Chain A
């Protein structure tokens, strides 16, 4: 009799274990499609060990990215300032926050973020890692102006998010770390590598003579000398992801990297933006001061301002720049526009 009770008890124990196993959902690993040019030319993208990409995590991040739940008064989402049709930037010089306050920097475009090897994000490099970056705008009073504790409560009380987090991360108890992990997973899938120039490098398109000359101006140290900071055919990110003072101002209203590091030598330095998708990312510079590409090119050609921290790569500063001819300027612009990727902004996976 004792033995029978023992067997019945063991059976219940086993059944209970079995039922627990059924509850555990294993997210499906996501195979990030690395463009051929990136695979050939660059080292591997940064995917943190503690936040591997999964189908469920990416879908969840995409949903959160467009959900106004992240803002204090539920009026704006990440997508408010990072719009797909604008290569995840914003066509306004400064974006309006949840409380109607405007910021003082232009919204940065979002793509190829997994190839930011040093992992310093934002114009001033204040955020280390994509996950940490996602924390900042939520609590920033001039952006989403929310309290993370309240945001966590909203997610935990939501009718669908606990299930989605359970599927993505194995727990329905949602905290801010998991929220930013999901957003970062989605952001790492935002890959832009299908411009005309990409196709040209792959032998699938030809450049016009003007575009070819524009590329030559870009690569010529005696002319544009853009390649030292903005990549090349061998670095298809079109940014070095570093911080430079490119000679915008003689004195600084915004210290940029200098305000983060506290080092006066970093004053006026801002992150080099990628030159991909310029068609969609106006206005330009960290403060969106230039409405058009022509203004940008004119600035580099004859508008440089000397300051103590101007990058030594800026040539002929005392003359305002290298003084490109009208033809070289026009051709440079033609080349830059070949870096625009229509398939990126129309990618249904990002909508």
Chain B
């Protein structure tokens, strides 16, 4: 009788373990990747179409793009107190392609995660000269502007009111007020992008839409005839660039 009883308990125990695995938690490892897709509103930005006057800003200037590269840092998924980092920092060069993919180097379990990254470097990470790969591609900011790194180098041409080609250098850096050269005043103009909480049950590719037109649109309608080059030392321009960047990145499909 005792043996039968023990056998019954063992069967019930094993059965209960099996049920818990099947019904409640998916322990299958999940891979997650991010795909950044660049557009000008609804039009894809293609490197093959760089240097062509095809795009029109909110303010009405027709522009061409020659160079567009920008830095994202602390690209991560967050689950409670756990961070799953895609990359500490990544330089995206759109001349290499319309799309840029980042893979999470580790697997996840199914669940809900918040997706966040920083445009540029926060002050804590924006240390002068410490990133060899960024130094090697000339992404530095001069010491007289506080050093560190560009957040973005966006160069091109626009048609001025005389329909003549003129250059623009829409460069984003940490804003610096040089009114008193001996007492520089800095403002961290990097910004965090929070794309919300996402649920994963299978391997997933998250599309991040990068609308370059937004840099000239919202909330500051950008007038290239007034603000075109030499923006790095322009404290107010840097703050406006940062404000406009807030709407550049949005969540697309999850495949």
Assess whether A235 is in contact with B135, with CB atoms less than 8 Å apart. Answer: yes
The 13 sampled A-B contact pairs (Cβ below 8 Å) are A41-B135, A41-B136, A221-B229, A225-B230, A227-B138, A227-B140, A234-B129, A306-B165, A308-B165, A311-B155, A312-B157, A313-B155, A318-B164
**Assembly CA distance A219 to B169 (angstroms):** 15
Contacts of A235 in B (CB 8 A): 135-136, 138, 140
Assess whether B136 is in contact with A117, with CB atoms less than 8 Å apart. Answer: yes
Main secondary structure of the interface of A (DSSP, over half): loop
B51 within 8 A of A: yes
A168 within 8 A of B: no
Interface residues of B (CB under 8 A from A): 50-51, 66-67, 128-129, 132-133, 135-138, 140, 142-144, 153, 155-157, 164-169, 229-230, 232-233
CB of A115, distance to nearest CB on chain B (Å): 8
CB of A19, distance to nearest CB on chain B (Å): 49
A323 within 8 A of B: no
Assess whether A42 is in contact with B140, with CB atoms less than 8 Å apart. Answer: no
Contacts of A222 in B (CB 8 A): 230, 233
A327 within 8 A of B: no
Assess whether B135 is in contact with A312, with CB atoms less than 8 Å apart. Answer: no
Among candidates B138, B165, B166, B230, residue contacting A240 with C-beta atoms closer than 8 Å = B138
Contacts of B165 in A (CB 8 A): 306, 308
**Assembly CA distance A69 to B233 (angstroms):** 55
Interface size for chain A: under 10, 10 to 19, 20 to 34, or 35 or more residues? 20 to 34
Assess whether B132 is in contact with A312, with CB atoms less than 8 Å apart. Answer: no
A219/B138 contact (C-beta < 8 A), A41-B129, A42-B132, A313-B167 known: no
Among candidates B51, B129, B135, B232, residue contacting A265 with C-beta atoms closer than 8 Å = B51
A216/B128 contact (C-beta < 8 A), A41-B135, A43-B133, A308-B165 known: no
Contacts of B164 in A (CB 8 A): 318
Assess whether B138 is in contact with A231, with CB atoms less than 8 Å apart. Answer: yes
CB of A229, distance to nearest CB on chain B (Å): 7
Considering the complex, which residues of chain A in the window 18-74 have a beta carbon less than 8 Å from any beta carbon of chain B?
Answer: 40-43
Contacts of A233 in B (CB 8 A): 129, 143
Assess whether B143 is in contact with A228, with CB atoms less than 8 Å apart. Answer: no
Contacts of B135 in A (CB 8 A): 41-42, 234-235
Among candidates A41, A216, A308, A315, residue contacting B229 with C-beta atoms closer than 8 Å = A315
**Assembly CA distance A234 to B148 (angstroms):** 10
Assess whether A318 is in contact with B138, with CB atoms less than 8 Å apart. Answer: no
Assess whether A41 is in contact with B132, with CB atoms less than 8 Å apart. Answer: yes
